[in-house]
Amino acid sequence: MGRALIEAVSEAEGVSLTAAIDRPGNSLIGSDAGELAAIGKLGVAVVDNLDAVKNDFDVLIDFTAPAATIKNAEFCAQYGKKMAIGTTGLSAEQKAQLEASASKTAIMFAPNMSVGVNLCFKLLELAARVLGDEVDIEVLESHHRHKVDSPSGTALRMGEVVAETLGRDLNKVAVYGREGQDGPRDRETIGFATVRAGDIVGEHTVMFAADGERVEITHKATSRMNFARGAVRACRWLNERTTGLYDMQDVLGLR
């Protein structure tokens, strides 16, 4: 994902790559970011901490892990840097910490920065409103074998969009996998099924199933560049904001 971000920033107008950060101890520290992304030398060396480049950037794109993201958000809030976050798996407590940082700087936080996925969020809202409580709702998602959180942040957000539209609390109605003789399906539940295999970039389907017909809204990603280009688009949008916590629905004008 880091390489895709470097490429996306480098090919976009109105933005430039001025810093690149990886975890301490990584063997790539000191390498040229452009050469790592196979796009040619950029003159930007990879460093292992934000403090080393705090005067070199305006917006940080963060695709890391929850603990690192929260630490980076606190840093950005302290030094007036804006932030586009694609990290998933944050706890409720960590999301509250993110909101605290957003009171001091502008942060765009989205489980998926793909324009197509965010359009699907809007379509899911419409489908849930029209189909209402007359359908069974299932969320199916597939990712590569290295993904560490399950269900994906995108799948959870899809479930949240549907639940909020129907006036349900996802924490109470979500069912994560089924096994054995667990009885007839409760119409109020929203089911999640997860696949981890090979190099699948990301596939999500939300199924609205009734007796006699089924509506499915599906998004399939074949390249990480979709997410990277969405992140760059968010950076441009954040440039006009000072404080607040936003998501890609705000960036795309779908709110």
Which value, in Å, is the radius of gyration of the alpha carbons in the chain? 19
Measured from the Cβ of residue 171, the count of other Cβ atoms closer than 10 Å reads: 9
Mean residue pLDDT of the chain comes to 95
Between vectors from CA 223 to CA 247 and to CA 119, what angle results, nearest 5°? 35
How confident is the model over 167-206, as pLDDT tens digits? Answer: 999 999 999 988 888 889 999 999 999 999 999 999 999 9
Distance CA 213, CA 5 (A): 41
- What is the model's pLDDT at position 22? 94
CB 215 within 8 A of CB 126: no
Which residue is listed with tokens 């196979």? Answer: 38
Catalytic residue among 81, 82, 143, 219: 143
Catalytic residue among 54, 104, 122, 147: 147
One fold for both 2-113+224-251 and 115-221? no
- What is the model's pLDDT at position 177? 85
Which CATH number is 115-221's, of 3.30.360.10, 1.10.150.20, 3.30.56.10, 3.90.1150.10?
A: 3.30.360.10
Mean pLDDT by 10 residues, the chain (255 residues): 94 95 93 96 96 96 96 97 94 96 97 92 97 96 95 95 97 93 91 97 97 97 92 95 96 90
Residues composing the chain: 255
Residue extents of the structural domains in the chain:
2-113+224-251, 115-221
- What is the model's pLDDT at position 250? 95
Instruction: Give how far Cα 246 sits from Cα of 29, 110, 149, 207, Å.
Output: 31, 8, 22, 27
Contacts of 168 (CB under 8 A, 6+ apart): 188, 190
How confident is the model over 133-164, as pLDDT tens digits? Answer: 999 999 999 999 999 999 999 999 999 999 99
Q: Is 147 annotated as catalytic?
A: yes
Q: Is 95 annotated as catalytic?
A: no
**pTM higher than the cut 0.85:** no
What is the dotted CATH code of the domain comprising 2-113+224-251? 3.40.50.720
